[in-house]
Amino acid sequence: MPVTATVKVELLTRAGSRCEFCGADSDLDGFVVAPRDESAADSCVLLCGTCCVQLQTPKSLDVNHWRCLSDAVWNENRAVKVLAWRVLRCLKGQAWANELLEQIYLDEDLQEWASSAPLIAADDSSDEVSAKPTVDSNGAVLENGDAVCIIKDLNVKGTTFTAKRGTIVRNIRLTSNPEHVEGRVNGTVIVLKTCFLKKST
Ligand SMILES: [Zn+2]
């Protein structure tokens, strides 16, 4: 996410044309501190090429380079603090980094910002797959113990009976598959596809 020219000018002015982490004065560019966007300078940190490259690959941080953070954590700018905190978290295990983490003061807002995204947003996109809720044919969320109405005659596999349209199934149980629930029809517990169900009250 490149920052706009206006934001970059603001950043250069704010930082005195030096990297806000290590003080280098070459190859400077804005780095957006996720999940804020690039539209405002106070969501961004001005970084040199070295710092930027390191942040793209958080797993191979050069520990010695990041000693510069012992100055950066005292930066008055909120985005700098948040980003410094995230880098330090990646360096946990280094005694000096832990010490700095203890000294750095983040108020509630900043703590929330700092914890709300990893160092590099793209880095853990595969980490968390949010569990899909089980929903009926109308998108209403189904829970264990709910009652549902069958909206279509269903031939039940492995049995000779049909689960008739309009049948109310009480006390359903969710399964690990959000498209299936279990319920008792004609005295037999069967698996029902949620797309043929409507939540009943
Ligand atoms: Zn730098």
CA–centroid distance, residue 28 to ligand 1 (Å): 8
Please tell me whether the peptide bond between 118 and the residue prior to it is cis, using omega within 30 degrees of 0.
Answer: no
Mean pLDDT, residues 136-160 taken together: 90
CA–centroid distance, residue 78 to ligand 1 (Å): 17
State CA 84 to chain mean position distance.
19
CA–centroid distance, residue 23 to ligand 1 (Å): 6
- Read off φ and ψ for residue 92, nearest 5 degrees: -55, 145
In a domain, 11, yes or no: yes
C-alpha to C-alpha distance for 197 and 26, rounded to whole angstroms: 63
C-alpha to C-alpha distance for 103 and 106, rounded to whole angstroms: 10
CA–centroid distance, residue 127 to ligand 1 (Å): 29
In a domain, 137, yes or no: no
Domain span at 26: 5-124
Domain identity same for 12 and 46: yes
CA–centroid distance, residue 140 to ligand 1 (Å): 51
In a domain, 131, yes or no: no
Domain identity same for 151 and 84: no
C-alpha to C-alpha distance for 82 and 105, rounded to whole angstroms: 10
Cα torsion for 53, 10, 103, 61, to the nearest 10°? 0
CA–centroid distance, residue 22 to ligand 1 (Å): 4
CA–centroid distance, residue 72 to ligand 1 (Å): 10
Q: What is the pTM of this model?
A: 0.59
Domain identity same for 113 and 161: no
Split into its structural domains, the chain has a count of 2
Domain identity same for 152 and 69: no
pLDDT for the residue 83: 95
CA–centroid distance, residue 58 to ligand 1 (Å): 15
Domain identity same for 111 and 16: yes
pLDDT band at 37 (very low <50, low <70, confident <90, very high): confident
CA–centroid distance, residue 90 to ligand 1 (Å): 17
CA–centroid distance, residue 65 to ligand 1 (Å): 9
pLDDT digits (tens, 9 = 90+) for 89-138: 888 888 999 999 988 889 999 999 998 888 764 444 333 344 688 999 99
pLDDT digits (tens, 9 = 90+) for 154-194: 888 777 888 999 999 999 999 888 899 999 998 888 999 99
pLDDT for the residue 133: 87
CA–centroid distance, residue 47 to ligand 1 (Å): 5
In a domain, 134, yes or no: no
**CATH code for the domain in which residue 155 is found:** 2.30.30.40
Please identify, among 91, 124, 157, the residue that sits at the C-terminal boundary of a domain: 124
Domain identity same for 100 and 31: yes
